[in-house]
């Protein structure tokens, strides 16, 4: 529960004639960001076809991308999940989509924060391997037992697939209040699989057994959705086997995958507004930079985070602010109907292009990183800061990904970004892409 009014600040912004002030309230208290926030005619794009990507249904009928549109539900705070049917007879569960891990794991025992679980004893096709497994995440951990079983995906590739499955028997901080999923789908490379890379990840099994291209793409449409809403989750799409052209606008720009464990990329610089942070490239990539749908926020290495906060405070139209907003311990609240986004600058992330002498930038407007959380008594709208410090990585998480259609082209070892077509006033204009013909040294 939020504790009321500890601090009253004011905001100022200039017009051509005068200065106006808007009341701003800050609220503090124990706040769990991960819970309380936390068809035009299809035509094949020639450049994508040349790159080997599938863009429509394939002749064998294994994959039809139109069937996969809107197969996700959720938002950045509570995670994006899809429905899967596991075992024989089938048991239906919602599974969190996570590009930052590699195990497919589902609850196999009761837990106070989930409504149901996968009962191995009821599945005639479940086979135990007899091996234990444990996985720790940035938040939460679990342990259980490895085995195999059959799955089908109602809005995915057709047919039944046999996969490695971890039965979660014990967990801490993994299942949280308010979630609507009962497992996790790790979509990263085998090197991250636990207990070792011999445990074939889910998507590797799908590609091997169905023959679809080794590509998947994500559109996540929860930008601007308050975590306190009781309405149906905003959702999105996980396209397995290629790229669906109705889900993005303009061009797709690709950055190389540097190492196949996480989807590790290279960040060249950051800008806040028009201000270059002027940090060494190594600072942005300390000790890695990754694209991870399972991380809620944009996470930045400590020095980079501090520089971004300082630049925001210098360039924003807020004359004074509590550090608690940037530290994630306080919410910023405005009178209902007042939009805070015009008071904050855009943030640009520069990524190395596949032509390594070039770069492109993904630009994130405040609609993505100043995020609505809840309202107070119907009179105040409260927001959180969607960026946090990290001890070991720069993580392009859901806060950024919600503005883009993100393509994980594993076949060609690259990650692509295009502006998302998520309908709605919140997303349109929240992000942009630009190719820059600048020569960058290798780091």
Q: Which active-site residues does the annotation give?
A: 98, 292
CA angle 362, 366, 368 (to 5 degrees): 70
The H helix count followed by the E strand count for the chain is: 8, 28
Q: Where are the alpha helices (DSSP H) in 58-175?
A: 65-68
Tokens of 110: 């009761």
In a 10 Å sphere around its CB, with 0-12 CB exposed, 13-18 middle and 19+ buried, how is residue 47 labelled?
Answer: exposed
CA distances from 77 to 87, 224, 365, 384 (A): 29, 11, 18, 11
Which helix or strand (DSSP H or E) is residue 164 part of? strand 161-172
**Distances, alpha carbon 423 to alpha carbons 3, 224, 398, 403, 428, in Å:** 35, 12, 17, 11, 7
- How many Å separate Cα 309 from the centre of its chain? 21
Cis amide bond preceding 195, omega within 30: yes
What tokens were used for 401?
């990904």
Residue whose token pair is 């149901």 = 116
Name which of 161, 131, 136 is nearest 146 in CA terms: 131
Q: Which residue from 56, 239, 87 is spatially nearest to 150, judged by alpha carbons?
A: 87
Q: Which of 264, 276, 260 is nearest to 345 (CA)?
A: 276
By residue count, the chain amounts to: 443
Question: What is the signed CA dihedral for 222, 228, 231, 234, rounded to 10 degrees?
Answer: 10
Q: In this structure, are residues 25 and 7 in contact, taking their beta carbons and an 8 Å threshold?
A: yes
CB < 8 Å & 24+ apart, contacts of 169-173: 169/108, 169/109, 169/143, 169/144, 169/145, 170/109, 170/142, 170/143, 170/144, 171/107, 171/111, 171/140, 171/141, 171/142, 171/143, 172/140, 172/141, 172/142, 173/139, 173/140, 173/141
């Amino acid at each position: 529960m939020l504790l009321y009014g500890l601090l009253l600040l004011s905001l100022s912004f200039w017009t051509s004639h005068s200065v106006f002030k808007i009341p701003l309230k800050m609220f503090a208290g124990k706040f769990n960001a991960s819970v309380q926030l936390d068809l035009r005619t299809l035509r094949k794009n020639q450049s994508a076809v040349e790159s080997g990507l599938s863009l429509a249904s394939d002749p064998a009928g294994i994959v039809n991308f139109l069937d996969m549109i809107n197969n996700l539900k959720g938002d950045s705070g509570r995670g994006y999940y899809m429905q899967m049917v596991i075992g024989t007879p089938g048991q239906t569960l919602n599974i969190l989509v996570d590009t930052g891990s590699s195990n497919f794991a589902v609850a196999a025992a009761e837990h106070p924060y989930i409504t149901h679980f996968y009962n191995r004893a009821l599945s005639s096709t479940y086979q135990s391997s007899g091996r234990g497994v444990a996985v720790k995440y940035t938040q939460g951990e679990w342990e259980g037992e490895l085995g195999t079983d059959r799955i089908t995906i109602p809005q995915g590739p057709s047919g039944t697939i046999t996969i490695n499955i971890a039965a979660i028997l014990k967990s801490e901080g993994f299942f949280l209040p308010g979630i609507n999923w009962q497992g996790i789908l790790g979509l990263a490379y085998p090197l991250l699989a636990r207990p070792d890379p011999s445990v074939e990840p889910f998507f590797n099994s799908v590609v091997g057994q169905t023959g679809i291209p080794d590509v998947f793409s994500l559109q996540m449409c929860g930008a601007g959705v308050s975590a306190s809403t009781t309405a149906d989750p905003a959702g999105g799409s996980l396209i397995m086997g290629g790229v669906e052209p109705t889900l993005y606008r303009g061009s797709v720009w690709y950055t190389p995958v540097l190492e196949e464990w996480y989807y590790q990329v290279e960040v060249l610089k950051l800008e806040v507004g028009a201000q270059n942070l002027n940090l060494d490239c190594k600072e942005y990539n300390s000790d890695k930079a990754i694209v991870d749908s399972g991380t809620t926020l944009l996470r930045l290495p400590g020095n980079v985070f501090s520089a971004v906060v300082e630049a925001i405070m210098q360039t924003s139209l807020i004359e004074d602010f509590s550090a608690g907003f940037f530290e994630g311990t306080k919410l910023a609240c405005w009178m209902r109907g007042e939009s805070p986004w015009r008071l904050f600058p855009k943030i640009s992330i520069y990524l190395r292009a596949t032509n390594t002498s070039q770069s492109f930038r993904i630009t994130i407007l405040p609609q993505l990183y100043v995020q609505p959380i809840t309202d107070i008594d119907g009179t105040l709208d409260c927001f959180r800061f969607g960026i946090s410090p990290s001890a070991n990585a720069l993580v392009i998480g859901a806060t950024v990904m919600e503005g883009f259609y993100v393509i994980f082209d594993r076949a060609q070892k690259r990650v692509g970004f295009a502006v998302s077509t998520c309908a709605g006033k919140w997303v349109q204009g929240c992000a942009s892409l630009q190719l820059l013909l600048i020569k960058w040294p290798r780091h």
